[in-house]
């Protein structure tokens, strides 16, 4: 009886090792922070509006107070898992049209710089992959966007 129990443990451990190997292989080829998996296909529309408003001014259309837009942005960003928040911000900025000269306040570079601060304590105060409300550099979290 003891040898059959030992054999069962060996079979169970072998099966577990094979399963872990398969999971590791499958997850190695998957970037969970890709749009359509953890990040929505067209992420953070309110954050996009907030960035444009902060960097380019009010523009045309209905006037919505900046704090209202920021609150909407924070809610959208909060729905993204912490591991992917910085990546989602980078994907959002990559999808935005570049506006104006590189030195203008409405430039893509200015929007990129401001986007990385949206998780900060002063803005949405949301934890990221770094374990605190901070993004080192957008795109550094393993998204396909560089």
Does one domain contain both 48 and 74?
yes
Q: Which CATH number belongs to the domain containing residue 53 in this structure?
A: 1.10.110.10
pTM, 2 dp: 0.67
Does one domain contain both 40 and 107?
yes
pLDDT category of residue 7 using cuts at 50, 70 and 90:
low
The structural domain count of the chain equals 2
Q: Under 8 Å CB-to-CB from 33, ≥6 apart: which residues?
A: 39, 83, 84, 87, 88, 141, 142, 143
Q: Does position 76 have pLDDT exceeding 50, yes or no?
A: yes
Does one domain contain both 60 and 127?
yes
Does one domain contain both 40 and 14?
no
Does one domain contain both 3 and 66?
no
Does one domain contain both 73 and 3?
no
Q: Who wins on pLDDT, 5 or 29? A: 5
Q: Who wins on pLDDT, 48 or 140? A: 48
What is the model's pLDDT at position 71?
97
Does one domain contain both 45 and 113?
yes
Does one domain contain both 73 and 109?
yes
Q: Does position 130 have pLDDT exceeding 50, yes or no?
A: yes
For the CA atoms of 24, 29, 34, 38, what is the dihedral angle to 10 degrees? -20
Does one domain contain both 15 and 58?
no
pLDDT digits (tens, 9 = 90+) for 89-124: 988 888 887 654 555 557 778 888 889 899 999 999
Rounded to the nearest integer, the mean pLDDT of the chain is: 75
Report the chain's terminal Cα–Cα distance, integer Å. Answer: 60
Does one domain contain both 22 and 71?
no
Domain enclosing residue 35, as ranges: 31-146
Q: Who wins on pLDDT, 15 or 115? A: 115
Does one domain contain both 4 and 57?
no
């Amino acid at each position: 009886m003891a040898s059959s129990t030992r054999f069962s443990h060996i079979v169970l451990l072998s099966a577990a090792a094979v399963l872990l190997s398969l999971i590791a292989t499958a997850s190695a080829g998957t970037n969970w922070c890709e749009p359509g998996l953890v990040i929505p296909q067209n992420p953070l529309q309110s954050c996009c509006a907030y960035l444009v408003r902060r960097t380019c001014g009010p523009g045309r259309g209905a006037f919505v107070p900046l704090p209202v837009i920021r609150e909407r942005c924070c809610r959208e960003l909060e729905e993204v898992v912490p591991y992917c928040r910085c990546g989602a911000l980078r994907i959002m900025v990559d999808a935005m049209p570049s506006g104006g000269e590189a030195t203008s306040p409405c430039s893509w570079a200015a929007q990129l710089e401001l986007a990385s601060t949206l998780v900060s304590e002063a803005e949405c105060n949301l934890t990221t992959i770094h374990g605190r409300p901070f993004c080192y550099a957008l795109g550094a979290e393993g998204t396909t966007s560089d």
